[in-house]
Structure formats: C-alpha cells, structure tokens
Amino acid sequence: NFQILVFANGRYGFNGEHSLTDATTDMRLCNTLVHDVEAVAAEAPVAGVLAPAVGEQPTTEELQFAFSAELLGHIERAVEFFDATVAAHELSTLSFDSFGKEQIKKMKVSPDAFVQMAMQLAYYRQFRHVPATYESASTKAFARGRTETSRSVSAHSVAWCKTMVDHPETTGLHAKAELLRKSIAHQSQFTAQCAKGCGIDRHLLGLELALQADEPRHALFSDPVFTGSRHWRLSTSQISDSILAAYGWGEVVDDGFGVAYRIEGEALHFNVVSQRLGSARLCQYLSDALMDMRFLLTNAHKQPHEIKAEVDAVANVLTSIKLLSSSPNRPLSPQAATTPTELHAAEPEARFRSPFAETPVANAMVDELDRLPSNEVICALETRLSRFVKESLSWALPSTS
C-alpha cells in the first residue's frame, strides 16, 4: 500500500505500509519519483503540464459507487477509529543544529551509535530505566535480505546511563567518557554483525512462526526476560537521505516511542511519536543528552581544575554581559542615539550592533573569550549554563570521599 500525498502548498510526500518494504527500497522509489516529477515540471509550460490545448476541454466522468448500509457502517466505524487513533497520539520534533555528523566523527566515534546512546540517556533521565531499544540494521547484502534488529542496549550502556544520572558525583569525567566510548563501540560492532546476518531476532522469530499449531512451544518464547527484551519501548531507525525534509512513524508498543532520526553534516533531526507519554519532554532530554555527550568526549582528557577554570571564566563573562545589558544607562547605539528618530538615522551597520559594542568593557570581555579554547566557549554556553549546570560540573569534580 503506497500513497503519494500532495498538499495545496506544493509540498508532497510518500506514505508506505511497512510490512511490504523497508527504507532502502522506499527511498529508491522516493528518489525516482521526485527526480522524475521535478524533471518533467522543469520542462513543462508555465500553464502546467496537464493544461489542455487551445480549443480543447478536458472531459471527466464522475464514478458512481453503490454503498450498502452495511458498507456505510464499516466506513463510519473506520473513520471513528482513525480519528480516535490520531487523537490518542502526540508528535514532537527536534531540529538540533549545535553540531552534526562532522563534529561527531572528530570525536572518533560512530555518529549513529552516538545518537543511539543519546536516546538511551534521554529515556533514562525521563523514566529512570533503560528500555528495550530496537534499531533497524539492513541485511540488503543478501538476496531477499531485509532487516535485522540491532539491540542498542548493552551492559556498558546501562552502566553509563546510571553513572550519568543516579550518582554523577561519584565518577570522574574521564571514567564517564570511557564508559560512553565502550557503549558506542559495542553498538557499532553489534550493528555490523547484524548486517552480516549474525543477529538473533529474525532467526528466533522465524523459528517461532514456523511452529505448527500442534507443536509445543519452547520455554524461551514465554520466558519473561526474553519477551521483555523485545518489548520495544524505543523503536528507532535512521534515514539520512538528503531528499527528505522529515519522516516518521508511530510506536510499536502502547507504552513506547517511535523515534525516527536523520544525521546530517551539521545537524541532527528527530521525530518522536507516542501515545501522550511525553514526546516533547523526550525531545528536550535528547537535546540535553547530545550536549552533555559532546562535553564528555571533548573534555575527558582535561583535569577537573582546568575545566572548572575555563567554565567559570566564560560564566563570569556572561554575567558581566548580562549586568551591562540590563543597565538603565547603557547607550542605545555606538552613536548614543536617544530618540527613535536619531536611532533610525544612524548608519545601518551601527543600528544593529550590540548596545554596548566597541566599548572598553565589551572589548575586554571579547578578549577574555578569545583566550579560551573555542570548544570550551561552546560547551560553556550551551551545556554548562543549561538546565544541567550543577550536574555537569559534578562530572568534572568527583567526590573525594
């Protein structure tokens, strides 16, 4: 079941029923569709491809369908079910533009596994447990290959999430970063094994479905540990094709989330759907987790006192800026315009400068920022001074007890 959706504003999209195909096939179809449509549109006359020739009128004939009372009842119930399903869900998005694939690669880790760990940390911060997490791994290297389940959760990732959230003050920055790197490496290795046909979930699913009605079921299939391990509260997958503006799907269990994500060179995008479990909140935790992880991996080699000194320096600069900008005597522009007329008459480049531009105080603050490593400025602005300020500092200063 494939549907092409065209909207009044010229946007168009694609809707597919997942059991038939997977992302690789769907994206080939989407690319072909978009390239063909836009190639035809580029060559079409202004009046439109389907405009009739002069003197001709298009002929249409409305198809008349006969609906029985029973069929009309089914249609009405289907509409009610559809509306109720939509009303039961919430969708939130996160367009994270602080960094993307290029910066993650400079940290010498897999971008996809990095994002997977961010989702685990975000979920743990929101619900205080690590969920069974599904990530789709492609097996297209094999004839008729489709997907395998890459299980993102490992003993390493659970230990890392607990260290980050439950007792952040007991472990130093370096130890947390090492746990994170082990978690990312394990996820990358497991996904690679799945792509080679060495996963377990499709094999076990095949064995379970192959059982006849009169055959006994193995105890594994009713074991609570096994069944719980495939109750996918986080159902995730990545499609990073540049042709997409957005994409997504719903959760696969009632108490879970469907998380579609894209990894671009300088940005990360998430589409989060759930049955009103807090999709917007999970997006916020995702943003925090991504910033915290960059802070970890870019600062793990530093001593606690170095980090604290750099962060405090930036915090002091920002405090000075805040105090100066709130001063009732600050000038409105470098030319000290005091009326709207004078401000409007100022040079354009001057009107849009900071109110305290080109002052000795501002220059001193800029000089202070210039003496700090650039990544520390970013981390301090976006991480240390975020809602997890105190927690972030505790990473750098573990308990001495």
- Just list the catalytic residues: 18
The helix or strand, by DSSP H or E, that contains position 354, with its residue range, turns out to be: none
Name the residue type at position 182.
K
298-305: Cβ within 8 A, 24+ apart: 298/107, 298/375, 298/379, 299/173, 299/376, 299/379, 299/396, 300/173, 300/174, 300/176, 300/177, 300/178, 301/174, 302/173, 304/172, 304/173, 304/396, 304/397, 304/398
H/E element, 398: none
Decide: 191 and 112 in contact? Cβ < 8 Å: yes
Classify each residue of 273-303 as buried b or exposed e, where b means 16 or more C-beta atoms within 10 Å of its C-beta: bbbebbbeebbbbbbbbbbbbbbbbbbbebe
The span from the CA of 90 to the CA of 69, in Å, is 34
What residues have CB less than 8 Å from 242, skipping those under 6 apart? Answer: 264
How many Cβ atoms from other residues are within 10 Å of residue 97's Cβ? 10
Q: Find all residues with CB under 8 Å of 183, minimum gap 6, and list them.
A: 113, 117, 154, 156, 157, 160
The rounded distance, in Å, linking the Cα atoms of 120 and 157 is: 8
For 257, the enclosing helix (H) or strand (E) is strand 257-263
Cα separation of 240 and 61, whole Å?
43
**Other beta carbons within 10 Å of 25:** 13
**At 21, is the secondary structure helix, strand, or coil?**
coil
Place of tokens 């998380």: 259
Decide: 76 and 70 in contact? Cβ < 8 Å: no
| Nearest CA among 309, 264, 306, 268 for reference residue 287 | 268
